[in-house]
Amino acid sequence: MENFLQQLINGVTLGSIYGLIAIGYTMVFGIIGMVNFAHGDVFMLSAFIALIVFLALTQLLGLTSLGLVFLIVLICAMALTALWNWAIERVAYRPLRGSFRLAPLISAIGMSIFLANFVQVAQGPRNKPVPPMFTDVIQVTSGGAFDVTLSYKQILIVTVTGVLLLAFWFLVQKTALGRAQRACEQDRTMAALLGVDVDRTISLTFIIGAALAAVAGTLYMMYYGVVNFSDGFTPGVKAFTAAVLGGIGSLPGAVIGGLLIGLIETFWSAYFSSDYKDVAAFSILIVTLIFMPSGLLGRPEVEKV
């Protein structure tokens, strides 16, 4: 029972990180129908930005208040990553928006390769260790086969994910930007005729998706204590899988899909073999899509004629 509870805590934590990345996939796909395969590498880039800012604040400026440092790191990572993604959208995606459907996809794959190699050249191929942050833990149970612990890092990750999900659900459902996003999702041409600035709406969507990826990257850096230039691929693919599993285009579905992928990975590694945890996660996706092609919370796509 202790093992189950500990793995449940670990799985929810990992799934929360996947869910934050998946929201960026689902927002972009929902509006322009494009899978932004560079999004995983934007997440990786944000983790390096967070690490650099953290080291600058603690080692160069000598700040010792961990809460203040974390807040500054988070804000800087969100701002700089959003600026990067805005530039990517303007340079690599917007010129191809009216082209054939594969052109933006190829551009996204090219941008993913560029970002991974750029970080590899700039920061080197080796793992970059991160100084420990929020190391305190809460003893949940003791006296059994082993102790069940809940770290402050895990509480922070799950709390931030829940707050951001509520915040962006409110943004999409209740604000002018959200109405513009939903209008562009349904029909960009008609939205433009009715006065919606489509280019601005899409750019803001990329900025928001990058900001969420930056939050995930900062939490990932804090939780695992190491970053590498290759960290964008696997979490990016898992987050895209989570978005599809939950129903791509649905913000709650993205987080639910992320939680499911995280739980499947964690429990499979604990009770079976960690070598096949990815196989288990993708197998669940295949089974779900066979019986629910739109995902858990997705809506069937209606072909416009």
| Residue spans of beta strands (DSSP E) within the chain | 128-129, 137-141, 148-151, 226-227
- pLDDT (0 to 100) of residue 103: 85
Ranges under pLDDT 70 in the chain: 1-2, 142-145, 299-305
- pLDDT (0 to 100) of residue 14: 92
- pLDDT (0 to 100) of residue 41: 93
pTM of the model: 0.89
Tokens 């054939």 correspond to what residue? Answer: 100
- pLDDT (0 to 100) of residue 145: 65
Type of residue at 23: I
- Give the up-direction half-sphere exposure of residue 5: CA atoms within 13 A in the CB hemisphere: 13
- pLDDT (0 to 100) of residue 62: 84
Alpha-carbon span 70 to 255, nearest angstrom = 23
Q: With 0-12 CB in 10 A as exposed, 13-18 as middle and 19+ as buried, what is 114?
A: middle
Partners of 128 in beta bridges: 227
- pLDDT (0 to 100) of residue 100: 77
**Residue 82 contacts residue 211 (beta carbons within 8 Å):** yes
- pLDDT (0 to 100) of residue 286: 84
- pLDDT (0 to 100) of residue 120: 93
Alpha-carbon span 244 to 160, nearest angstrom = 22
The token duo for 148 is 């069940």
**Residue 18 contacts residue 253 (beta carbons within 8 Å):** no
